[in-house]
C-alpha cells in the first residue's frame, strides 16, 4: 500500500470512528445495548476512537519508515480534526428535529 492510500485509510477510519458513537446505542459497538446511551459514554467512545486513529497512523507511519516524534500541537490538531469529523453524527443524534410520536401515528 502506498503512502497516499495510507493517508486516505487513516482519514476514512477517523471519519468512521468519530461518528460511530452517535449512530448506535451499543457500548463500544459490540457491548450491551444502552437505550438511551448517556452523552458521557459517547464522549468516552469518541476519545478512545481518537486514540485508535492516532495508533493506526503511527503504525502505518512506522511501516513506511522512521516514525517522527510529535509534539503537543500534533495532538491538539488531531483532536480538533476528530471533533470536526464527529460533527455530522452529533447533529444527527442531538440537533435534528424529531417528530412527536402521536403526530406520526395520526398521519398513518
What pLDDT, in 10s, does the model give residues 47-92? 999 999 999 999 998 888 888 888 999 999 999 999 999 999 999 8
In Å, how far are 37, 54, 57, 73, 81 from 77, measured between CA atoms? Answer: 28, 11, 14, 6, 6
What pLDDT, in 10s, does the model give residues 20-52? 999 888 888 787 887 788 889 899 999 999 999
How far apart are the C-alpha atoms of 20 and 28, rounded to whole Å? 9
Q: Which helix (H) or strand (E) holds 63?
A: helix 39-64
Q: Which helix (H) or strand (E) holds 11?
A: helix 3-23
Residue 98: count of CB within 10 angstroms of its CB: 6
CB-based burial label for 102 (10 Å; 0-12, 13-18, 19+): exposed
pTM recorded for the entire structure = 0.78
Amino acid at each position: 500500500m502506498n503512502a497516499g492510500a495510507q493517508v486516505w485509510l487513516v482519514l476514512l477510519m477517523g471519519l468512521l470512528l468519530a461518528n460511530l458513537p452517535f449512530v448506535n446505542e451499543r457500548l463500544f459497538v459490540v457491548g450491551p445495548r444502552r437505550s438511551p446511551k448517556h452523552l458521557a459514554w459517547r464522549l468516552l467512545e469518541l476519545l478512545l476512537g481518537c486514540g485508535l486513529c492516532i495508533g493506526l497512523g503511527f503504525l502505518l507511519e512506522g511501516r513506511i519508515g522512521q516514525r517522527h516524534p510529535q509534539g503537543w500541537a500534533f495532538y491538539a490538531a488531531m483532536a480538533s480534526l476528530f471533533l470536526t469529523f464527529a460533527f455530522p453524527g452529533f447533529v444527527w443524534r442531538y440537533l435534528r428535529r424529531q417528530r412527536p410520536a402521536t403526530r406520526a401515528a395520526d398521519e398513518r
